[in-house]
Amino acid sequence: MNARSELSIAGVLIGFSLLNYFYLIPTQVVAEGSSPVYPMLVNTMLLCFSLAYMGDGIRCWRQQKKAEGEGQACSTGGGKVMMRPLAMLVVTGAWVLSMEYLGFIISTFVFLIIASRIFGSKSWSKALIMSVAMPLIIYFVFRVLNALLPEGPAEELINLILG
Amino acid sequence: MGEIFNHLWDGAVYALSAWNILAIIIGYIIGIIAGAIPGVMAVTAMVLILPYTFTLEPLFAISLLMGIYKGGAYAGSITATLFNIPGTPEAAATALDSYPMFKQGMQKRSLEIALWASVFGGTVSNLLLVFTAPPLAEVALRLGPPEIAALILFSLTAVITLLGDSRMDIWKGFISITLGLMLATVGLDNMSASRRYVFGIEDLDNGVPFVLTIIAMLALSEVFIQAEKVGSFTLGDAAGAVSRIIPYTWKQRWKDLKFCLKDLIRSSFVGSLLGALPGIGATTAAFVCYGEARRSAKKDARFGNGDPRGIAAPEAGNNAVAASSLIPLITLGIPGSVAAAVMYGAFMIQGMIPGPMLMMEHPEIIYGLFVLLIITDFLGAFVVALPFISVVQKIFKNLNYSLFFPGVVVCCVVGVYAEEFNVFNLRIFLMLGFVGYIMRKMGMSIPPFILAFILGPILERNTRTALLLSNDSPMIFVQSPIALGLLILAVAALGWSLWRKTRGAKGVLEVPEEFKH
């Protein structure tokens, strides 16, 4: 990461700790009748470390400005494209949310097909086999253990067939 | 001393059943497979198995997890040797000499040196655990709230001081810790039972579940990280095969053992010592032991070109960490590493709180665990590891990563759901997984966050109890010599670390950047 990103993160953390001081602790801790001492203590630690982090971030930013063309003086790596992780987050979120309505088997089938494409799967057949087999195996293991996974049309059909 | 042997005998009688031995073997197999896959560490496998241990017998569950940990610790050296790609971060030190030895056709020699060095280091560490844990547990029983609070603060500081190469990394480590402590305050206040940070959501009353947090922060965030690397993972020119394989004779084995014995003994003790200190971990231990072996060798040593000591020292060191990292957990109830934190979770799932009281009240369980730990190294190494080397080679070459990682997400989600059968938990899981990913992108380390999250409630309870005892006077932390000593140590460790980072330590064998978690 470059110095500017480090400074932004430090800013967000300082902002969060101020929000915690002036809004979250009074409304979510004190108003509920709990002692604010420990949350205050931890929040003060966060504020102090974030300020120290910002201080070093400023020092780093100055170094980078001096180095100008080089611009690598305080680089800590990272900054890669986040498209695939974001896509995974969205797909996993959609899977988790749809599980209650579609049931475990269908939602997991769809999730595995899409997720394997995100991870660059080139073979449809292998992805299809895994997407069918994995949810079914997990479903039957849970059924044997008498534990319930979210149910939908596929599970109801299986229940109807197996009784 | 005699009492320890009596307890060990009772523990052996209690623990040595076919089921527990089977658990070790299954665990070791899982650990070897997980440890051989880059991006999946033994701890990740432990985390994935953890929620399924609810229904298992305590020792079966613990043996299974310990088998995974030990199997994973050895497995990293297999891919490090055969492909120059360490399956685990600690195996990076081993690769420096094991891969050159493999290229010279001495594959069998390299893998066997790593194997018996692992067994040697593991056994020394197991014995240290057995003989140091009981007296330490007795001392721990005399500690009061201020001492325990100071000890936890010291542990958390110790974790941070070894992170990164710059001061900024130290601050990020501390921020990671405070975020972990903050997350631990969500839910009912453990002293007044009033709600904190729940935003009116009843599902949060019991706090953020422990297993969920570990799986999200370690496993799910790792999947997101791996999603960035799609298509970048190749074996390159490391074909995993050489034209000639030189046999490894018994005479050569004996010669190597004698040649490496000094380094084995030193590395086993250094690894055990480093493992017993909270937060240092196997990777640092492996590199310290490698550096020590290289430093003490003569000038004509072949380090970097297939010197057997370059394999034996880091392997003995990193395996010694496994058992000794349990010392703070068993004696004080404080997990000193992420693996120990997972073990802590396994104990909690079984309704047991690790710490000195468990050792006093249920010695058969703790000593049974010690006995199983001792046999894990031998059983795993000679029954599982040797026959599994070719299997690992095949898995590593043929694994379809595009199907593997989505499968890992399914296992994570099912594991989290199975803990409480609550869909709400899955939403928190997803959120924390992404937070973990963002933290890693920001260069914040996850292990301190997890340790702080686990230790948070204990720290809070003891801090508040100490303040209650002293009528809210913080002087109680200074009046106790032990607490004061620990606080001074914590400040000194922080000061030393900041000074070292500012000055830029030279001449120290650093852990390569790509292997830092």
Distance between CA B67 and CA B143 in Å, rounded?
32
Residue numbers of B between 210 and 229 with CB closer than 8 Å to A: 223-228
Question: Is some CB atom of chain A closer than 8 A to the CB atom of B467?
Answer: yes
Q: Which residues contact B100 (CB under 8 A, 6 or more apart)?
A: B304, B305, B306
Position B239 pLDDT exceeds 60 = no
Distance between CA B44 and CA B467 in Å, rounded?
38
Kindly list the residues from chain B whose CB atom is less than 8 angstroms away from the CB atom of residue A28: 195-199
Q: Which residues contact B314 (CB under 8 A, 6 or more apart)?
A: B90, B91, B93, B94, B267, B286, B287, B289, B290, B293
The angle formed by the CA atoms of residues B436, B437 and B443, to the nearest 5 degrees, is: 90
Question: Is some CB atom of chain A closer than 8 A to the CB atom of B18?
Answer: no
CA nearest B110: which of B95, B124, B120?
A: B95
Residue numbers of B between 130 and 189 with CB closer than 8 Å to A: 166-169, 171-172, 174-175, 178-179, 181-182, 185, 189
Distance between CA B118 and CA B220 in Å, rounded?
30
Burial classification of residue B464, based on how many CB atoms lie within 10 Å of its CB (0-12 exposed, 13-18 middle, 19 or more buried): buried
Contact between B443 and B163 (Cβ < 8 Å): no
- CA distances, B384 to each of B70, B95, B369 (Å): 12, 22, 20
* Mean pLDDT calculated for residue range B133-137: 82
Kindly list the residues from chain A whose CB atom is less than 8 angstroms away from the CB atom of residue B410: 108, 111-112, 134-135, 138
Higher pLDDT: B78 or A22? It is A22
The helix (run of H) or strand (run of E) holding residue A12 is: helix A3-19
Sign of the four-CA dihedral B406, B412, B414, B417: negative
Q: What is the pLDDT of residue A68?
A: 65
Contact between B192 and B377 (Cβ < 8 Å): no
Kindly list the residues from chain B whose CB atom is less than 8 angstroms away from the CB atom of residue A52: 171
Lowest mean pLDDT among B13-17, B58-62, B88-92, B116-120: B88-92
The helix (run of H) or strand (run of E) holding residue B87 is: none
pLDDT in tens, B334-376: 887 778 888 888 888 888 888 888 888 888 888 888 898 888 8
Work out how many CB contacts closer than 8 A connect A with B.
170
Query: Which residues lie across from B195 on neighbouring strands?
Result: B188
- CA distances, B22 to each of B19, B60, B117, B347 (Å): 5, 9, 24, 19
pLDDT in tens, B196-229: 999 988 889 888 988 888 888 888 888 898 888 7
Lowest mean pLDDT among B63-67, B320-324, B512-516: B512-516
A 10 A CB-CB count for B386 gives 13
| DSSP code, position B514 | G
Distance between CA B260 and CA B308 in Å, rounded?
7
Position B151 pLDDT exceeds 90 = no
Position B181 pLDDT exceeds 80 = yes
Sign of the four-CA dihedral B173, B174, B175, B181: positive
Mean pLDDT of chain B: 82
Sign of the four-CA dihedral B394, B287, A75, A10: positive
* Mean pLDDT calculated for residue range B293-298: 82
* Mean pLDDT calculated for residue range B476-496: 87
Q: What is the pLDDT of residue B72?
A: 82
Extract the tokens encoding B187. Answer: 């839910």
Distance between CA B420 and CA A147 in Å, rounded?
11
A 10 A CB-CB count for B364 gives 15
Q: What is the pLDDT of residue A69?
A: 62
Q: What is the pLDDT of residue A132?
A: 93
Q: What is the pLDDT of residue B430?
A: 93
Contact between B70 and B319 (Cβ < 8 Å): yes
Position A154 pLDDT exceeds 80 = yes
Residue with tokens 């020699």: B109
Q: How far is B101 from chain A (nearest CA, A)?
A: 32
Amino acid at B152: I
Q: What is the pLDDT of residue B170?
A: 85
Taking an 8 Å cut-off on Cβ atoms, the answer to whether B437 and A49 are in contact is: no
CA nearest B121: which of B341, B273, B7, B307?
A: B273
Distance between CA B494 and CA B184 in Å, rounded?
23
Q: What is the pLDDT of residue B160?
A: 72
- CA distances, B45 to each of A45, B134, B425 (Å): 33, 30, 21
| DSSP code, position B511 | P
pLDDT in tens, A69-124: 655 555 554 445 678 899 999 999 999 999 988 999 999 999 999 999 998 888 88
Which string of DSSP letters, residue by residue, matches A99-130?
HHHH-HHHHHHHHHHHHHHHTT---HHHHHHH
Task: Kindly state the percentage of chain B with pLDDT values over 70.
Answer: 89
Question: Is some CB atom of chain A closer than 8 A to the CB atom of B449?
Answer: no
Instruction: Give the largest Cα separation in chain B, rounded.
Output: 76
Q: What is the pLDDT of residue B514?
A: 45
Position B242 pLDDT exceeds 70 = no
Q: What is the pLDDT of residue A104?
A: 92
Q: How far is A107 from chain B (nearest CA, A)?
A: 11
Distance between CA B9 and CA A154 in Å, rounded?
53
Which string of DSSP letters, residue by residue, matches A17-83?
HHHIIIIIIIIIIITTT---HHHHHHHHHHHHHHHHHHHHHHHHHHHHHHHTTS--TT--S-----H
Kindly list the residues from chain A whose CB atom is less than 8 angstroms away from the CB atom of residue B463: 38, 41
Residue with tokens 């893998």: B111
The helix (run of H) or strand (run of E) holding residue B101 is: helix B91-103
- DSSP H helices, B229-354, are 250-276, 281-296, 308-324, 327-332, 338-349
* Residue B39 banded pLDDT, cuts 50, 70, 90: low
Q: Domain-by-domain residue ranges, chain A?
A: 3-67, 83-162
pLDDT in tens, A9-68: 999 999 999 999 999 999 999 998 888 989 999 999 999 999 999 998 898 888 878 876
Q: Which residues contact A134 (CB under 8 A, 6 or more apart)?
A: A108, A112, B407, B410
Taking an 8 Å cut-off on Cβ atoms, the answer to whether A92 and B178 are in contact is: no
Q: What is the pLDDT of residue B233?
A: 54
Position B98 pLDDT exceeds 90 = no
* Mean pLDDT calculated for residue range B148-176: 80
Kindly list the residues from chain A whose CB atom is less than 8 angstroms away from the CB atom of residue B171: 49-50, 52-53, 56
CA nearest B371: which of B32, B33, B55, B63?
A: B63
Kindly list the residues from chain A whose CB atom is less than 8 angstroms away from the CB atom of residue B231: 120
Taking an 8 Å cut-off on Cβ atoms, the answer to whether A119 and B224 are in contact is: no
Taking an 8 Å cut-off on Cβ atoms, the answer to whether A99 and B423 are in contact is: yes
| DSSP code, position B204 | G
